[in-house]
Copies of this chain bind each other. A is one copy, B any other.
C-alpha cells in the first residue's frame, strides 16, 4: 500500500501516518517529492491494512493499493490452470466446451427434446432454469423443483450434466440434489450469503459477472467461493451495462484475455445475454473463442417465438448446430479443439 500525502501536508500529519503504519505492524518508507510526500507501507503483519482508515486521516490525499486483493483466485499465487471436470472433459483444458439449452425449463417434453438436440449438435452440458430471476414479479418465475426433476430426466436420457441457477441460500440443498453445476446469476454475483453457501458445497459453480461489476469485483466474488473451500469455480463474462442501446448488453470481450492472465480459473462466455439478439449470437460466440474463452453457454430453444423467457436471444437447434461448427473452426484456428 502507498499513502500519497496532499501537497502541503504538515510534518505532524506525515508523522501520524507513519506512526499508524508502525502501530499496524508494518514499516513506513518515506519518499519526499518536490510537491508531495509518499509513504510506502512494507512488511507483514497480522493486522490487515484498511485503506479507508488511512485515506480518512488528515493530510492524506489518497491511498494506492499495490497487491491484488484476491489470493486464491490469483494466477500469480496459483500459476497452474484450474481444470474443472465436466462430462468426461475438463473446462479450462484445450477443448472448448459448450453448455446449451433453454433459458427456462418449460415442460418435461421441452427440456428432453432440446437436450437431445443440443447433445446431437455437440454440447457438453445442458442448461435450463428452474428458479428464474425475473425483473417483473408478474413474469414466469420458473417451475422450481418440478423443473429440476425434468432436468434430471433429461440428463438420464442424454447423459448431459445439468447447469441450473440457484437464487437463494435456502434453495442450495434442493438444487444440489439435482444439479451438476450451480449457476450464480449476474444479479446475484454480489449476493455474498449465497456465495458463502455455495462455497460450502463441493458442486461446480458457474459464476456469472454482474452487469456493472468490474473484472476485479468478479474475482473477489470468486474468492468468496474459493475461501469457503470450494475450488471448482468457472467464471462467465455475459455482457455489461453501458450506454449502447443497439444490443441488450455490451459484451466485454477484453475481459476474456484479462481474466485468463489474472486468474487460473476457467473463463466462459455467454454470447446470448452478451448481445441479446439471436442473429448476432454466432458472431459473438466466434469472437469469444478467438479471444481465448474456455467455454460457452448458449441459449437454445426449439420455438423461440413461444419461449416463456429470452426468446429473442435463443438460437433454434439448427442454428445452434451451425454455430457449433463455426466455433470449432475458430477453436482450431487458435490451437484448440471444440
> Which residues of A pack against B, CB within 8 Å?
2, 4, 7-8, 29, 31-36, 38, 40-44, 48, 50, 52-57, 64, 66-67, 69-70, 76, 133-138, 141, 167-171, 187-188, 190-194, 196, 210-212, 214-217, 220, 223-224, 227-228, 239-247, 250-258, 261, 274-275, 278-280, 283-284, 286-292, 304-312, 314, 326, 329-330, 332-334
Q: Which of B212, B220, B250 contacts A252 (CB 8 A)?
A: B250
Given A135-B217, A250-B254, A291-B284, do A243 and B67 touch, yes or no (CB 8 Å)?
no
Q: Is the CB of B326 within 8 A of A330?
A: no
A91 to chain B, nearest CB (A): 19
Q: Most chain-B Cβ atoms within 10 A of its Cβ — which of A171, A193, A261?
A: A193
A-B pairs with beta carbons under 8 Å apart, 5 shown = A2-B64, A38-B40, A55-B311, A244-B252, A253-B253
Q: Which residue of B has the minimal Cβ distance to A76?
A: B7
Q: Is the CB of B311 within 8 A of A53?
A: yes
A86 to chain B, nearest CB (A): 24
Q: Is the CB of A307 within 8 A of B53?
A: yes
Q: Which residue of B has the minimal Cβ distance to A258?
A: B246
Q: How far is the CA of A200 from the CA of B331 in the complex (A)?
A: 45
A287 to chain B, nearest CB (A): 4
Q: How far is the CA of A169 from the CA of B241 in the complex (A)?
A: 27
Q: Is the CB of B190 within 8 A of A133?
A: yes
Q: Is the CB of B330 within 8 A of A7?
A: no
User: What chain B residues lie within 8 Å of A167 (beta carbons)?
Assistant: 191-193
User: What chain B residues lie within 8 Å of A211 (beta carbons)?
Assistant: 212
Given A44-B34, A214-B245, A280-B257, do A290 and B168 touch, yes or no (CB 8 Å)?
no
Chain A contact residues, majority secondary structure: mixed
Q: Is the CB of A290 within 8 A of B289?
A: yes
User: What chain B residues lie within 8 Å of A214 (beta carbons)?
Assistant: 243-246
A201 to chain B, nearest CB (A): 16
Q: How far is the CA of A220 from the CA of B133 in the complex (A)?
A: 12
Q: Is the CB of B34 within 8 A of A31?
A: no
Q: How far is the CA of A317 from the CA of B41 in the complex (A)?
A: 30
Q: How far is the CA of A247 from the CA of B287 in the complex (A)?
A: 18
Q: Which residue of B has the minimal Cβ distance to A5?
A: B66
Q: Which of B32, B247, B292, B312 contacts A283 (CB 8 A)?
A: B292
Q: How far is the CA of A252 from the CA of B242 in the complex (A)?
A: 10
Given A137-B224, A214-B244, A330-B330, do A36 and B67 touch, yes or no (CB 8 Å)?
yes
User: What chain B residues lie within 8 Å of A227 (beta carbons)?
Assistant: 137-138
Q: Is the CB of A34 within 8 A of B42?
A: yes
User: What chain B residues lie within 8 Å of A333 (beta carbons)?
Assistant: 286, 326, 329-330, 332-333
User: What chain B residues lie within 8 Å of A35 (beta carbons)?
Assistant: 66-67
User: What chain B residues lie within 8 Å of A310 (beta carbons)?
Assistant: 52
Q: Which residue of B has the minimal Cβ distance to A224?
A: B137
Q: Is the CB of A7 within 8 A of B240?
A: no
